[in-house]
Amino acid sequence: MSEALKHAQAGDPNAQNQLGIHYSEGRGLPQNYLEAKDWFKKAADQGHAGAQVNLGTLYSLGQGAPYSDHMALFWFQKAAEQRNALAFAKLGMMYERGRGVPQSLVEAHMWYSLSAAYGEKRAVESRDTIATRMTRSQITESEERAKKWTPARP
């Protein structure tokens, strides 16, 4: 662990994210969500998509940070801009449940579809489950929006 800590302290975002994971899960270190948040934030600020998702997750659960759908959305959106499959799924969940955004099955289906297209297998089940509560025209709208989606930033 000392080697990972050395790299994290030197500013390596991959090492910072890994250290955050170890703290958040209590793997090889005492579980400490505050430490996890600090390491995820350092990596997230450097544009590390995985750390952005991890940080958003802490905010969405209120672990190591105040519960905040607003901050969770902020970090999930940052990671989604980098086409992170898990970020797409997290955004789908936020829209499905109306957490920090107006509830929208069309939006949720779109994000789950993008997540599935980028390899997140669990998103397929989520997408297909909410599709049972949607009209055919809503599904078509969602599919069209997913095809046209591009990151807001280059």
Please answer whether residues 126 and 89 qualify as being in contact, where contact means their C-beta atoms are separated by less than 8 angstroms: yes
Tens of pLDDT, residues 59-69: 999 999 999 99
At residue 151 the predicted structure's pLDDT band, cuts being 50, 70 and 90, is confident
Mean pLDDT of the chain: 96
User: Which DSSP string do the residues of 108-131 spell out, in sequence order?
Assistant: HHHHHHHHHHTT-HHHHHHHHHHH
Please report the pLDDT score of residue 152 as a whole number. 79
Domain ranges across the chain: 1-79, 83-154
At residue 2 the predicted structure's pLDDT band, cuts being 50, 70 and 90, is confident
- Look up the pTM and report it: 0.94
Sign of CA dihedral 116, 73, 69, 56: positive
Q: Is 14 helix (H, G, I), strand (E, B) or coil?
A: helix
Q: Quick one: average pLDDT of 79-102?
A: 98
Tens of pLDDT, residues 26-56: 999 999 999 999 999 999 999 999 999 999 9
The CATH number that domain 1-79 falls under is 1.25.40.10
Please answer whether residues 79 and 52 qualify as being in contact, where contact means their C-beta atoms are separated by less than 8 angstroms: yes
Q: Encoding tokens for residue 26?
A: 């209590």
